[in-house]
Each structure stands twice: as C-alpha cells, then as structure tokens.
Amino acid sequence: MGARRKATTQITRLAHRAGGTAAANRMVP
C-alpha cells in the first residue's frame, strides 16, 4: 500500500509539474 501511495504521489507531482489538473483527477480513482 505504501509503494502504491508513493507511486500515486509521484504521478500527482508530475501532473502538477506539467500543470495538468485533469490528468491528476483522472488518476484519483
């Protein structure tokens, strides 16, 4: 679970860095 959370955080970070909120929301579910 911890690893999965870390991966999700990395994805969100990348999305924010790219300025893609839609991409982050898509990865939430």
HEC-encoded secondary structure of the chain: CHHHHHHHHHHHHHHHHHCCHHHHHHHCC
Q: Give me the domain span that covers residue 24.
A: 1-29
Distance CA 20, CA 3 (A): 23
- Give residue-wise pLDDT tens across range 1-25: 577 778 778 777 766 565 556 665 6
Q: Report the domain count for the chain.
A: 1
- The model's pTM: 0.35
Residue count of the chain, please give it.
Answer: 29
CB distance 24 to 16 below 8 Å = yes
CB distance 8 to 29 below 8 Å = no
Identify the residue with better confidence: 8 or 27.
8
Distance CA 23, CA 3 (A): 20
